[in-house]
Amino acid sequence: MNKNFEVVIGLEVHVQLNTKTKIFCSCPTSFGDEPNKNTCPVCLGLPGALPVMNKEAVKKAVMLAKAIKAKINKFSTFERKNYFYPDLPKGYQISQFVVPIIEHGEIILDSGKKIGITRAHLEEDAGKNIHDGEISKVDLNRAGTPLLEIVSEPDMRSSDEAIEYLKKLHAIVKYLGISDANMQEGSFRCDANVSIRPRGQKEYGTRVELKNINSFRFIKQAIEYEVERQIEAWEEGEYETEVVQETRLFDSKTGETRSMRGKEESADYRYFPEPDLLPLEVPDEFFDIEIPELPNQKKDRYINEFKLKEYDAGVLTAEPELAAFFELMIKFGVEPQLANRWLAIELLGRLNKAGISIENSPVNAKKLALIAIREKEAVISAAGGKKVLDLLMQEDIEVDAAIEKLGLKQVSDESAIEKIVDEVLGANEDKVAEYKAGKEKLFGFFVGQVMKASRGKANPQIVNKILRSKLG
């Protein structure tokens, strides 16, 4: 980054709503079916076919509005956005242009900064072009899938703020259950608009739009590359004169962005009212829809109720699956701090390394809770618990069976430990005398000897206790 320039970022996110059927017809929205199986005259764009609005999509849009404290428009409009592309057989996309269903929302970053959401509107997705050597094929299964396009204000001032905004929006959408929000499958897609301006300048600089980047990491890379490129162009004195508003593509192999096309203006699309649909009226009962607890609320609750640190609460609530896992562990009787350690550090560490998501964890909440409980009961040590978890990651085995198999059961029986202590002290009378004469650091030596004699299985707390009482 450069201290002479300020970065300005606005994001457009397309969220695929997880309705059972498409937005204007009753074809299923399922992913991965045989090409063109889920189509009908409406989503194929055959002449004379009439669209019918899907009420579920409206409901899901309203849920998002509630979550981002946005205004829900009782009436909104549909327009045709005209452009040609092989995966868009009608030659236009039905979208909302003049009046969107949602306006004026916000997402609050951890710093307390508010990022404005200008609008969110409903529209239909296009199909997919599949390029296969010499030929190109078109699959229209996705054509007509409902999208909610969420447009932010140009309020972000760094790639970090942009990513934080995106992660928060992603979490909200998942908590609401309105989309799978799977970035690889394209059900949560982001275009980043990036410009820079000399510090202190009021007007925004010319923006460049970076299209459809499919991971948080790539979005951050693309923005950072673009900022550097624009700063260079500006410093060479070419920026305002030679660089035009354009759409650029990010290449994840080189980490660079390259020009795709000049940026079209809305006038290029010749928007006009969709004659086959009435204005969208949000049913009265939707205005009182209840939505589930949101990530920020859950995070505050974890801090207050479970006394977790802000950072830990943030990690645990970032994904609803993770929060649900944590809450199950609590339900099985694990203390919050211990559950946090076993889940956020031990299990997540192993899952990340193996590239497995929490949903596909080979170790479920019940098993992880039992490891934590066995540690708490001093049946195993913390180090032993990690070995148990390692084994559970590899094998479908019960926790107690794993403890048995690995021979990790600690000896907590006081008389058994006392016997070992007596043997150790008896064999080291000279050292006992030195200890009693004031060489206190020998205490560690005795602990070590007892642990060794028990082959690491003696409960260290009990060893300490007995040694203290014997040595005075």
CA dist 299 to 113, 209, 293, 319, 326, Å? 17, 33, 10, 11, 12
Cα distance between residue 454 and residue 435, in whole Å: 22
Closest among 23, 6, 5 to 14, alpha carbons compared: 23
CB of 49 to Zn ion, least distance (A): 9
Q: Least Å distance between CB 151 and ligand ADP?
A: 5
Backbone angles phi, psi at 283, to 5 degrees: -60, 145
The partner in contact with residue 332, picked from Zn ion, ligand ADP, Mg ion, none with C-beta cut-offs of 5 to 8 angstroms by kind, is none
- The single residue among 31, 36, 40, 432 that binds Zn ion, judged by CB under 5 A, is 40
Q: Which is nearer to ligand ADP, 155 or 274 (CB)?
A: 155
- 140 in contact with Zn ion (CB under 5 A): no
Structure tokens at 236: 């060479």
Binding residues for ligand ADP (CB under 6 A): 8-12, 151-154, 193-195, 204-205, 207, 209
* Closest alpha carbon to 120 in 95, 106, 103: 103
Indicate which of Mg ion, ligand ADP, Zn ion, none lies near residue 208 (CB less than 5 to 8 Å, by partner kind). none
Determine the interface stretch with Zn ion among 37-45, 131-139, 280-288, 394-402 (rule: CB under 5 A): 37-45
Distance in Å, CB of 191 to Mg ion, minimum: 5
Host H or E run for residue 391: helix 382-394
- Identify the residue whose tokens are 């070995």: 387
Check binding of 27 to Zn ion (CB under 5 A).
yes
Looking at beta carbons only, is 152 or 454 nearer to ligand ADP?
152
Binding residues (CB under 5 A) for Mg ion: these are 12
How far apart are alpha carbons 288 and 281 in whole angstroms? Answer: 15
* DSSP bridge pairs for 257: 250
Site membership for Zn ion, residue 43 (CB under 5 A)? yes
Rounded to a whole number of angstroms, the minimum distance from the CB of residue 263 to Mg ion is: 8
CB 332 within 8 A of CB 366: yes
CB of 161 to ligand ADP, least distance (A): 12
Q: Which is nearer to ligand ADP, 146 or 205 (CB)?
A: 205
Residues 424/450, Cβ–Cβ less than 8 Å: yes
Question: Do residues 347 and 326 make contact, with C-beta atoms less than 8 angstroms apart?
Answer: no
Please list the residues that pair with 259 across neighbouring strands.
248
Comparing CB distances to ligand ADP, the nearer of 165 and 446 is 165
27 binds, among Mg ion, Zn ion, ligand ADP, none (CB under 5 to 8 A by kind): Zn ion
Amino acid letter, residue 48: G
CB of 142 to Zn ion, least distance (A): 11
Nearer to ligand ADP, 245 or 412 (CB): 245
Q: Which amino acid is at 391?
A: L
Q: Which is nearer to ligand ADP, 165 or 342 (CB)?
A: 165
Q: Please, which residue, 90 or 248, has the CB nearer to Zn ion?
A: 90
Residue 25 binds which of Mg ion, ligand ADP, Zn ion, none (CB < 5-8 A, kind-dependent): Zn ion
Compute φ and ψ for 119, nearest 5 degrees.
-165, 160
Closest by Cα among 142, 139, 145, 143 to 22: 145
In the list Zn ion, ligand ADP, Mg ion, none, the entry touching 100 (Cβ below 5 to 8 angstroms by class) is: none
